[in-house]
A and B are shown apart, each in its own frame.
Chain A
Amino acid sequence: MKIQKSDLFLKEIAHFELISFDFFDTLFFRNTLDPEDVFFYIGEKFNIRNFPKIRKEAQTKAFQKMHVEGKKEINIFGIYEFVDVDGVDSSVLMQEEYDFEKKILLPNPEIFNIFIELIKEGKKVVITSDMYFPRAFFQEVLENFGVKEVPIFSSAEMNATKRDSGEIFALVSKHMGVEPKKILHIGDNETADVKRPRQKGLSAYHYKFEPPVAFDKKKVSIATSLAAGMLLQHAGHEQLDVSETLGFVYGGPANVGFLDWVKAQAHKDGIDKVLFLSRDGFSVEQIAHVYYQEELPDFLYFYGSRTAFALAAITEENFVQNIPFLLSGADGLNPSEVLERIGVEPLSAEAMEDIGLGASVRVNKANYQTMYEFLYACRWRILRVCQRNRKLLFRYMNAIGVKDGSRIAIVDVGWSGTTQEALEKVIHDWFDVEVFGYYFCLANTPERLQRERKLHMRALVNAKNAGPEKIDFIYENRVTIEQFFSAPHNTVIGYERFDNNTITPLLDAGRGVHDQNADIGRNLQNGIKHFADFYFEFVRQHQVRLSPEAMAASMTDLISSPHARWLDKVKNFDAWGSSVNHQLGAKDY
């Protein structure tokens, strides 16, 4: 039986006299995948680095004492007897845990609505939970959501559990005066909520929330755990699809963490304008737009790309030197695609055939000479596009208020600073400005190192804080990662027009691209946005936040997990190298 519609379910359970509800992960969800993450947050708040360890050891000791004393359950007071931290009273920490746990719980609407409906109908309902918190904890949580006077059977209070022998179910039956067979228990744990009640003569319904993607709490970082927990809470409100879920759990923390880092860097560097570069600055800017309007220097989502900037720098004088750039990554493309990808209108198929560069030809080393000649022969057509890009980029820069003396940060996901270099090639012709590149990660490449000597480049994930191996691992998976930062619009390859103070970028859908690329992109973004909403509420409530580095770990979690394979569906993500002739997936880059 799977609960699809609460009405149907209500009908089916009508013949039970009493309905018992499990509390955690059934009636309520925490916003952490791993309940023990709560210890981490308390440690952060009180600046006790090893608090999770202290707290876990205390719990073990409490269990040992329980066994010694012949009791059947521990409680929070028993645990905190063994918590001893210099400078902080253990009762203060206990209260914090109590309060924290209360705050991170949200009703799971799927079950909670049934629960409320039953109360309204006058049906007998109880809460049956194995937990070290006293009855008052459950009462307070329920009261926060408008539920009063529901009998609560907490293992800590009853000194009897669900998990061991199901003893607590007998107590429920006894205290409520209802025969076991007339009781239905609903819960998520197969042993404690299904096997044990049945052994005690109760009926049991195994409720299992099945998100589109399952996460293993043992294999994820604190940030991913937080996101996955929040996702459970979110799931009750709105069903997310796979892409949204991945966006939420992996993309959300990475983006928020990156933004936090950008904010700190911008203040440090005295930045007066932050340009979140298309496409990979998209989701970060979206979050900034909602949450950091006041806290960041003047910022905007800036349409641009290596292609757009590099083209803007090509002039009549340097055209020949730029032919290698125009031809870079062109192997396997149709000759016409080499023009299309920079926004130059292709020549007639007949003309291309006549000059030996027809539709059946693929660019390769053997025909580079003809391609060079062809591009040279098309130089005025190409230069017109370059000039248009230069013209509009200049106007765009002026319109957003770039001026001499500006300190500009460009925000991009990574990896070697090629886009920054291309931008700096043109911008210094126009303005005396300082440009800073802020990256999620900078690759461990000589190319990057060389650039770093001339340009201001900083990265959240860098060799110093992550080590070279991790950087390599991230870089190897860069196309997968980029999708978690990228805008759900096509690649910017230049500019089309500028009027009413608004730029219209020239976008390239790429060639051989499936429509689903855009759908996946949009849904990832949607998930990221939802995560941000939950996270900032979490921060507001608890006054605790994860460091940018901790948040960034969600990306390593992603690329280490099989979930990354989902993104293999996206083909020819990079418009520059895309072609009707091939399908490049994330792993091919």
Chain B
Amino acid sequence: MNNSKDYDNKMNEKSEFADFSEEKFKLILEGLEKRISNKLENIEKKVDEISDQIYIKDFSSIDDASEKEVELETQLRYANETLHQYRSTLDQVYQSTSWKITAPVRLLGAKTRKLKKFLQLFNQLRKKHSLIFLLKKSFQVLSQDGLQGFINQLKQQNAIQAAQSGVPDSSSFLQEPAFIHRDKQGKFSLNSTPNSYVYIEPERNELIDAKMAGLKKKPLFSIVVPLYNTTQELLDGVITSVEGQWYSNWELVLVDDCSPDPATRKALEKITNPQIKIFYSEVNQGISGATNIGLQKASGDFIVFMDHDDEITADCLYELALCIERDDPDFVYSDEDKLTEDGSYIDPHFKPDWSPDTMMSTMFTGHVSCVRSALLEKVGMLRPEFNGCQDWDFVLRVSEITKKISHIPKVLYHWRIIPGSTAANIAAKSYVLEASQNARKDALKRRGKRGSVEAVEQVPGYFRVNYHLEGSPKFSIIIPSRDNFSVLRKCVESIFDKTEYKDYEIILVDNGSRDKSTLDYIESLKGNPRISVVSHDIPFNYSELNNVGVKKSQGDILVFLNDDVEILQGDWLNRMGGYAQLSHIGAVGAKLLYPGETLVQHSGVINLENGPAHALIRCERNQPGYYMRNLIEYNYFAVTGACLMIERDKYCSVGGFEERLPVAYNDVDLCAKLLKSGFYNVVCQGVRLIHHESLSRGHDAIDPVKQNRLKKDLRLFYSLNPEFYQYDPFHNLNFQSNSVNFALGY
């Protein structure tokens, strides 16, 4: 027993030593942190420089579809990609700071490691057994097996302890962060240079085989590939990637679209695999016509669309089969990346789950694209008049027939970039641009919606839909305010000055203003027939103030507006209202800029690991962002309550703002409730407003009281919406879990 006490005393001494060291480390850590932040500042400066270089050009004056524009767009696209890579790298560096900060701890550990070695095994055993037991056991072994036996037993125990719980001494490892790289030859390596994306083929194992064997549905996939002057090499790429599928129930349907190049037919004639069906078109029908032949000949339960120069990953059909088993979808799409001429995988597109409005902005579903064969009867075939965007047109039509659309957040498709291919340049051909607009115009027509397809000024080749207001709805703009005279006046006056649509009212909810200038201003507004002032003098509760405002309002469409928002454009109500009136839309947000109008304050709310956050915050306003997220209309998890538009009926159907969330997350909660009711939220990038919020804000992080309140509110938010804890259907789990810039988690 005495021995045991001695041991415990030693343990205490050890921990005291540890405490003392921590104190010492603090100083070292502070120094390190300073050095790291200096380094980061330099990198940030570099990123800003690059971004200035890229967006200095004004593309709005260039004619649509001109060759020059195509060239510029290509350059822009690559430049944007480079910028994104830099941003991802920066995020990686940020990531590694936590790791670097622990460096001194690791260094000290290395020095003391040798000293610890002798005690290590004993301590491990001591953790698991009592001292008496250990002594007895030792004595037993010694008397039975002698000294050598005892040593052998110790060695064996050492091995077993290591195999079970021998936590390696973390302090001596990882002097540098590590990243996996893949060189041009496809060779992998570990090194400390940050990188943002590397594609690594998945490995088939027993678990995967078991999952495959356990599938109740084993659908036949028909992979349909139209061919035109396809080279032997490209064809081999297609066939090898299909033959390499883990999931075996497939047929490959190749349709030669009357290729003039005899090499294509020659290559096809060499194929012997009975799972590959080859068809020859008598005449050249173009991509839609050739694909349609394949669709007609396909006998599979599901069609997988594939281009003749692309490759699917080995787990592609396996993942599709799992998804079909799980969700029973009619249409499935996955993430994808691009395969360069030199064999590198770049520019992955990690997509959101089904987003109807994003689909009207960009052909985001892309590849791999898989549709239930039976659906073709209702949807019809590909339409040649949309060639170039025939797949986009197809998906738009599919989404009108079914809601069962699934997304697999995993790269299952490599889109090869070769000169002249659309992967390199969405605007490579003018007919493509036309088709992209026509596909959407036709969708509007089919859907009975009025709207126009407008060019996105910053990036040629992109268009947004501007939905026109239906009827003449009345808007109620609800502004809670307290003692905020100067910004409030700016807000109200900008509404009056700018707003073109005239049927609106302003409900000013005064939260007990005391300040004379504010009170005078409110008094002065009272004569204005468009303004109703509601006094509600309660401890600040944003939700309650807004809910009270709604009760006093009469409009069909509600606009919740912070008193520090300034209207910049006349058509803001029309544009946002057009979206708000769509039956599938819940909340509509706008792009909010910081004062100075160059940096983004709000471009959508994403629900990250640490909680909801503003996407692309402080990003330059004209930067495209990840896959144009900063410039075109995307569906988002939520929009900020600083400017949130919603139809009254929809607001009522979800019970308005949650008053148990008085300060934070009430807007996000409203949006979450809308999502749960089946609505989509959207950020209308076509509307830009100023949010007079301080750029240097961050007091919540400093004030512990506020911080605690935020934490409590966040907890309540997730307890009200557990389905959205650690989950944002409009984000993608392949991004870094707390990155507002869509930095890749690779």
Q: Is A577 an interface residue (CB 8 A)?
A: yes
Q: Is the CB–CB distance between A377 and B132 below 8 Å?
A: no
Q: Are A316 and B207 in contact (CB under 8 A)?
A: no
Please tell me if B27 contacts chain A, counting CB pairs below 8 Å: no
User: Are the CB atoms of B207 and A340 closer together than 8 Å?
Assistant: yes
**Minimum C-beta distance from A589 to chain B (A):** 7
In the complex the two chains form, is B174's CB within 8 Å of A472's CB? Answer: no
- The SS class assigned to the A binding surface is helix
Is B130 on the interface with A (CB-CB < 8 A)? yes
Give bound CA distance, A378 to B179, whole Å.
8
* Cα-based distance from A399 to B148 in the complex (angstroms): 57
> How far does the alpha carbon of A269 sit from the alpha carbon of B188 in the complex, in Å?
56
* Chain A CB within 8 A of B177 CB: yes
For residue A391, CB closer than 8 A to chain B, the reply is: yes
Which residues of chain A have C-beta atoms less than 8 A from B180's C-beta?
347, 351, 355, 377-378
Chain B: CB-nearest residue to A390:
B726
Assembled-state Cα–Cα distance A364/B168 (Å): 9
With a cutoff of 8 Å between Cβ atoms, the chain A residues found around residue B132 in the complex are 468-469, 472
Per-position binary interface string of chain A over residues 378-419, scored 1 when its CB falls under 8 Å from any chain B CB and 0 otherwise = 111001100110110011001100010000000000001000
**Inside 8 A of A399's CB, which chain B residues have their CB?**
722
Q: Which residue of B lies closest to A337 (CB)?
A: B205
Contact of B128 (CB < 8 Å), options: A329, A355, A398, A475: A475
- Asked if A354 meets B187 with Cβ closer than 8 Å, knowing A323-B174, A331-B162, A383-B737, the reply is yes
Is A348 in contact with B200, judged by CB distance below 8 angstroms? Answer: yes
Contacts of A317 in B (CB 8 A): 98
Residue ID in chain A nearest B716 by CB atoms:
A404
In residues 133-171 of chain B, which contact A (Cβ within 8 Å)? 133, 159-160, 162-170
With A316-B736, A444-B129 already in contact, the answer to whether A329 and B165 are too (CB < 8 A) is yes
- Decide: A329 near B168, CB < 8 A? Known: A320-B98, A394-B718: no
Encode B445-482 as 1/0 by CB contact (under 8 A) with A.
00000000000000000000000000000000000000
Total count of chain B residues near the partner, CB < 8 A: 63
A447 at interface (Cβ–Cβ under 8 A)? yes
User: A369–B169 Cα gap in the complex (Å)?
Assistant: 10
Closest to A392 in B: B726
Asked if A332 is at the interface (CB within 8 A of a chain B CB), the reply is yes
- Are the CB atoms of A324 and B170 closer together than 8 Å? yes
Provide the bound-state CA to CA distance between A316 and B608, in Å. 12
**Which of B169, B188, B715 is in CB contact (< 8 Å) with A350?**
B188
Picked from B133, B203, B738, B745, the residue with its CB within 8 Å of the CB of A349 is B203
A87 part of interface (Cβ distance < 8 Å): no
Chain B's nearest CB lies how many Å from the CB of A392?
Answer: 9
Flag if B95 contacts A347 (CB, 8 Å).
no
List the B side residues contacting A321 at CB < 8 Å. Answer: 102, 170
Contact residues in B for A372 (Cβ distance below 8 Å): 168, 170, 173-174, 178
A308-340 at interface with B (beta carbon < 8 Å): 315-317, 319-321, 323-325, 327-332, 336, 340
Say if the beta carbon of B400 comes within 8 Å of chain A: no
With beta carbons under 8 angstroms apart, the residue of B129, B179, B723 that contacts A472 is: B129
Within 8 Å of chain B (Cβ to Cβ): is A346? Answer: yes
Contact B725 A395 (CB under 8 A): yes
A347 & B98 in contact (Cβ 8 Å cutoff): no
The answer to whether the Cβ of A370 comes within 8 Å of any Cβ in the partner chain is yes
In chain A, what residue has the closest Cβ to B133? Answer: A472
Give the docked Cα–Cα distance between A459 and B182 (Å): 53
Are A348 and B178 CB-contacts (below 8 A) given A376-B99, A589-B164? no
When each residue 531-572 of chain B gets 1 if its CB lies under 8 Å from chain A and 0 otherwise, what string results? 000000000000000000000000000000000000000000
**CB-based contact A355/B718 at 8 Å:** no
Q: Mark A339-377, 1 if CB is under 8 A from B, else 0.
A: 010000111111110111000000011001110111011
Kindly identify which residue among A331, A384, A476, A574 contacts B745, using a CB–CB cutoff of 8 Å: A384
CB of B726 within 8 A of CB of A582, answer no
Q: Which residues of A contact B205 (CB under 8 A)?
A: 340, 346
Residues of B within 8 Å of A328, CB to CB, are: 165-168
CB of A160 within 8 Å of the partner chain:
no
In the assembled complex, how far is the CB of residue A25 from the closest CB belonging to chain B, in whole angstroms? 40
Instruction: Let me know if B188 and A582 touch, CB within 8 A.
Output: no
Quick check: B130 and A468 within 8 Å, CB to CB?
yes
B202 close to A (CB within 8 Å): yes
Q: Which chain B positions have C-beta within 8 A of A351?
A: 180, 182, 188, 200-201
Contacts A316-B609, A321-B102; is A376 near B128 (CB within 8 Å)? no
Tell me how far the C-beta of B99 lies from the nearest C-beta in chain A, rounded to whole angstroms: 5
Task: Evaluate contact between A446 and B736: CB separation under 8 angstroms.
Answer: no
B142 → chain A closest CB, angstroms: 18
Contact status of A354 and B725, CB under 8 A, knowing A316-B95, A324-B170, A327-B167: no
Residue from B179, B203, B205, B733 having most chain A Cβ neighbours under 10 A: B203
Chain A nearest CB, measured from B672 CB (Å):
14
What is the CA–CA distance of A588 and B153 in the complex, to the nearest angstrom? 12
B11 at the interface (CB under 8 A from A): yes
A394 touches B722 (CB 8 A): yes
User: Could you tell me if B736 and A345 are in contact, using CB atoms closer than 8 angstroms?
Assistant: no
Cα–Cα, bound, A346→B167 (Å): 22
For the complex, is A76 an interface residue (Cβ under 8 Å from B)? no
User: Are the C-beta atoms of B164 and A373 separated by less than 8 Å?
Assistant: no
Task: Take A350-B201, A354-B188, A391-B726 as given contacts and tell me if A430 and B715 are in contact as well, using a CB distance cutoff of 8 Å.
Answer: yes
Closest residue of A by beta carbon distance from B92: A380
Tell whether, in the assembled complex, residue B725 and residue A394 are in contact, meaning their CB atoms are under 8 Å apart.
yes
Nearest Cβ on chain A to B292's Cβ, whole angstroms: 36
One of A354, A387, A429, A577 near B733 (C-beta < 8 A): A387
Contact of B190 among A355, A447, A574, A588 (CB under 8 A): A355
Closest Cβ of chain B to A415, distance in Å, is: 9
Q: Which residues of B contact A347 (CB under 8 A)?
A: 180, 200-203
**Is A395's CB under 8 angstroms from B723's CB?**
yes
A374→B190 contact, CB < 8 A:
yes
Given contacts A468-B130, A476-B129, is CB(A384)–CB(B190) below 8 Å?
A: no
A-side contacts of B160, CB under 8 Å: 588-589
Residues in chain B near residue A194, CB distance under 8 A: none
Q: Judge whether B133 and A355 touch: CB under 8 Å.
A: no
Chain B positions within 8 Å of A443 at CB level:
128-129
List the B side residues contacting A350 at CB < 8 Å. 186, 188, 201
Nearest A-chain residue to B166, judged by Cβ: A331
CA distance A445 to B206 in the complex (A): 37
Contact A472 B726 (CB under 8 A): no
Q: Judge whether A584 is part of the interface by a CB distance below 8 angstroms.
A: yes
From residue 556 to 589 of chain A, which have CB atoms closer than 8 A to chain B?
A: 574, 577, 582, 584, 588-589
**Per-residue A-contact encoding for B9-39, CB less than 8 Å = 1, 0 else:** 0010000000000000000000000000000
Distance of A317 Cα from B102 Cα, bound (Å)? 12
A345 touches B201 (CB 8 A): no
Residue pair A354, B129 in contact (C-beta under 8 Å): no
A528 to chain B, nearest CB (A): 27
Q: Is the CB of A376 within 8 A of B207?
A: no
Q: Return B102 CB to nearest CB of chain A, in Å.
A: 6
When C-beta atoms are compared, the residue in chain B nearest to A581 turns out to be B163
Residues of B within 8 A of A379 (CB): 95
CA distance A509 to B182 in the complex (A): 32
B162 contacts which chain A residues (CB < 8 A)?
329, 331-332, 364-365
A346 to B737, CA, bound (A): 21
Q: How far is the CA of A319 from the CA of B203 in the complex (A)?
A: 24
9 A-B pairs with least C-beta separation: A380-B745, A373-B178, A391-B726, A354-B188, A372-B173, A348-B201, A472-B133, A331-B162, A444-B130
What are 10 inter-chain pairs, A to B, with CB distance below 8 A? A323-B174, A324-B167, A329-B164, A331-B163, A332-B159, A349-B203, A369-B174, A376-B174, A395-B725, A444-B130
14 other A-B residue contacts (CB within 8 Å) besides A355-B180, A430-B718:
A315-B609, A316-B738, A317-B98, A328-B166, A329-B165, A332-B159, A350-B186, A369-B172, A370-B190, A372-B178, A373-B190, A394-B726, A472-B130, A589-B160
Residues of B within 8 A of A (CB): 8, 11, 95, 98-99, 102, 126-130, 132-133, 159-160, 162-170, 172-174, 176-180, 182, 186-190, 200-203, 205-207, 210, 326, 609, 715, 718-719, 722-723, 725-727, 733-734, 736-738, 745-746
